[in-house]
Every structure is written in structure tokens, then in C-alpha cells.
Structure 1
Amino acid sequence: MQTFFQYHSEQDPFRLFSIEHIITIAIIFVFCLFLFFLRRKLEKQGIRRVLRFFLLFLLLVFDVSHHIWLASENAWTLKDDLPLHLSDLAVLLAIVMLLTKSLGLFQFLFFAGLGSSIQAILTPDLGRFSFPHFQYVEFFISHGGVVLTCLFMVLAYQYRPTLRSLWMTVLIVNIYGVCVFFLNKWLGANYLYIMNKPKNASLLDFLGPWPWYLLSVEVIMIISFFLLYSPFWLKKKLEGS
């Protein structure tokens, strides 16, 4: 148990696309499929309410536990542990969305939250925390929970992203990025990986040196948002014809 929570872990470091990582991705994917196949059941208000509060509880407990764990290990710092990475902020916004059922918040989270969480799941910056360390478990439950939450709102409440909300999200993320840049300068931090690339392998490794990879990230972000929107666009086209 001590090894499970030990901050200075003696486990092997996280390896991208290791067997454990692939199995974890597969489990999240299976839960998404399970939610999709149960979409008719989600029309019942009782089941919908239970699942909504279960997701809310799951995200809240693991997010709070993560910060308590860091504080108990004397490892929490302003420089590294504020929820300012887009995928970390998405966890907090997903909790608020589940509480309020806000359509406006969904419109933002569907693109920024879903896109950043999928990227985090595929190329996590976990360093020395490999399975079954608490940090590993918390990371994938939190980010996988955001993916499930967005899918849940689509299936249970028939919330839909729009083309307008896509471009509004692009604008908001860029304004947010500028604010985080100045906060990084003040704290000597690297939130959003604006100042330099993460130490572990990530998509940014293929996008050139700083600051040029920031332009590439902008293009990739817009493309990924359109990919997320494409099933709804295609559905509209098919219904129109």
C-alpha cells in the first residue's frame, strides 16, 4: 500500500504504449462503447440521474484525492499542480457541468475538454508513475471520466456541439493560452506546455522546436475539433438528404 501512494516511486517509469497503457486505453474505450449501447436506457430519468451523480462523484473524489495526496507528500507546488493544463481544467468543468447540466459549458467541454483528455490519455506525462501507482490510476480515471461525461451528455440529454461553438472554443482556448503564458512567466512554470515540451514522449516531439510547435499545436487543435464535430455534421447531412 505504501508503494501505491509513494511520491518518490521506486517503480519503473511510465512507458508510452506499454501493455499496461494499451489495456488502460482499451478499458476506457469499452466503457464508452458500453455507454453507447445503453443509450436507450439513458432515456429513463432515474437511470440518467444515478449515472450523472456517479460520474460527478467519481471525478470529484479522485480530483480532490489527488491534491490531498500531493499535499500529504509535501509535493504540491504552485509551479506544477494548479489545474491549469486544459485536460486538468476539463475535470473541474466536467464536475460543474454534471451539477448544472449547462449546455453552454458542454459546448466548450466537448471540444476543449474531450480533445485535451483524449490527447492526455494517448500521450500522458506521468514520468515515474506507472501502473499500479495511485497517480496512474487517478490520471486515467479523471481524464477517462471527462470523455465518458461528454459522451453521457450527448446520449442522455441529447446535447449537441455546433460549428459556432467550435470556433468560440478555439477563441477561448487561445485567450486562455495567452493568460497562462504570462502566469507561467511569473511562476516559472510550464502549464499548457507553452514554455517548452514535456520531458516525456508526446506529440509535441514531432512538431519542431519552440516556439514553432505552438503554431503546429494550433493547427492540430482546429483539425481535432473538426474531427470531433464531423459525426454530427455528417448526421445532419444524411438527415437533410
Structure 2
Amino acid sequence: MDAYQKLQGLQLFDSLHVSYLFTWLVIWTVVPFIGKKYLNKNQCKMVVWTMIIFMIGQEALDYWNRAQFRNLNLVLDLPLHFCHISLIFAIYLLIKPNAYLYEITYFWGLVGAFQAMLAPDMTDFDNYLTVFLFNAHHAMIILVCIWLAVIDGYRCRKGAIKRMMILTNIVIWPVWLIDWLVGANYMYLMERPPTESPLVFGEWPWYIINIELVGLLLSVFMYLPMIYLRRMALQSESRTA
């Protein structure tokens, strides 16, 4: 689809953008709260399967929607961005517990997906359905991370940031090879991401290093709630011992 055919008139933090951010902020807060306070185990399972079906369904709808505007291709449509991989991990985690994958999804999701929602490329949406699916895709990763922490007691363990950074720097190499072979830009390893975020700066390849450093700092910040939750759990155990 040519650039002039894209959805026009959208701006960063316009009423539509802010409404999506506010709506998902409410969902991130209310859904885990209701699950923790009011739902029994079977009802929580129903919520989990609803989330799984929704995530798979929105991905299928996203690819169908893309196909209405252009031919699907290897350059644009492989699920190789961090947020695509995180969504796959999120679905897997709702089906089968895995502490390591939760840590990866937590940092990639809460840092990467939230950044994507906060500062998207407002010129790259095909239609309003694309806007909805973009926000739903990223927001569901965050919702799953919060749900698993609140309902199932998932926590990032000591050394989680180091493990996440090691995997990140392993994963980028095969993705870079695919980028080079097909002329793509998955994980934005070939060109800067089209975002207005002030956290993305510099030219190739320096912006990749900058993104890693910024991502590391944000991961440290996002790790703080996990430290607090672990300490609260230890205090609770000591009182009941």
C-alpha cells in the first residue's frame, strides 16, 4: 500500500491515541483486580481462555486486514519483532507455566510493548481496524504479564535482567541474518524504528546500542515492583511461620 493511501490525520496523543491508552490502562487495572478479588479458579480459567482466543483471533484478523491492502510477504509479515515473539510467549505462558519465559515476556512486554503504544508511527496505519489491532496486540502482552503476576504469583527472579539481555543479544543475530537475506527490518536492526519516541536516537548502527542501553535502564525500573513483591511475600511467610 502506498504512503498516500495510509490512514490520514492521526497524530501522537490525539483524542484517539489517548482514548486507547486510557482504555487499556483501565483494563490492565480492573481485569487482574476482579480476577484476584472476585473470581474462583474455574472462572479465572475462563478468563485465561478468553484472553488466549482473543490474542489468536486478533492476530488472524490482523493478517487478514493486511491482505486487504497488499500482498503478504517475507519483508513485512514474518512474526519476528520482539512484540510478536512476546505475544507468542504470552499465549504459551497462559497454557503452560514457565518462569524463564515469563521473565523474558515481562521485560520485552512491559518495556517494548508499552513504548510501542506510547509512541507509535501514526502514519503507518491502513485503517481504523489496524489502529485497534495494533493497540490490542501490544496491550494484551502487558495484560498477560500483570495477570500472571497478580493471579498466579509469577515473579522475576534474581538475575532476570541478565538472562533477558543475554537472550536478546542471541536472538538478534538470526533475525539480522533474515533481515539481510530478504531485505527486511525486523527488530529494527537495519533502520531506526519509525517512532517519535525521544528514547530512540542516533544513526545506524549506534541507535541499536542506544536502544539496548535505554532498554536496560527501563528494565531496571520495571524490576523494582518485582523486588517489592518478593519482599512482601517473604514478610508474609515470616509472619505465618
Give me the TM-score of the superposition, normalised by structure 2: 0.87
The correspondence for 1:23, drawn from 19, 25, 29, is 19
The correspondence for 1:57, drawn from 50, 53, 63, is 53
C-alpha distance after superposition, 1:48-78 (max 9, x if no partner): 1011111111101001111122234443111
* Counterpart contact for 1:62–1:138, Cα < 8 Å: yes
Give me the TM-score of the superposition, normalised by structure 1: 0.87
- Give the SS at the match of 1:78: coil
Pair 1:210 & 2:204 matched: yes
Report what 2:222 is aligned to.
228
- Of stretches 219-228 and 194-203 in structure 1, the one that deviates more from structure 2 is 194-203
Letter in 2 for 1:50: M
Q: CA deviation at 1:29?
A: 0.7
2-side partners of 1:28 and 1:148: how far apart? 9
Unpaired stretches in structure 2, ≥5 consecutive residues: none
Pair 1:104 & 2:100 matched: yes
Q: CA deviation at 1:93?
A: 1.6
* Counterpart contact for 1:204–1:213, Cα < 8 Å: no
What is the percent sequence identity of the aligned residues? 23
Q: CA deviation at 1:97?
A: 1.4
2-side partners of 1:160 and 1:177: how far apart? 25
Letter in 2 for 1:165: A
Alignment RMSD: 2.4
Q: CA deviation at 1:15?
A: 1.7
1-side partners of 2:159 and 2:38: how far apart? 27
The correspondence for 1:179, drawn from 166, 170, 174, is 174
C-alpha distance after superposition, 1:20-71 (max 9, x if no partner): 1111111111111213432533662012101111111110100111112223
Report what 1:4 is aligned to.
none
Letter in 1 for 2:65: W
Q: CA deviation at 1:95?
A: 1.3
Pair 1:37 & 2:37 matched: no
Letter in 2 for 1:227: F
* Counterpart contact for 1:41–1:47, Cα < 8 Å: no
1-side partners of 2:173 and 2:143: how far apart? 29
Report what 2:114 is aligned to.
118
Change (3 A) 1:139 1:98: same
Change (3 A) 1:99 1:213: same
2-side partners of 1:40 and 1:143: how far apart? 23
2-side partners of 1:100 and 1:156: how far apart? 14
Letter in 2 for 1:142: H
- Give the SS at the match of 1:185: helix
1-side partners of 2:59 and 2:104: how far apart? 20
2-side partners of 1:46 and 1:175: how far apart? 39
Unpaired stretches in structure 1, ≥5 consecutive residues: 1-6
2-side partners of 1:234 and 1:16: how far apart? 33
- Of stretches 53-62 and 35-44 in structure 1, the one that deviates more from structure 2 is 35-44
* Counterpart contact for 1:12–1:128, Cα < 8 Å: no
- Of stretches 103-112 and 222-231 in structure 1, the one that deviates more from structure 2 is 103-112
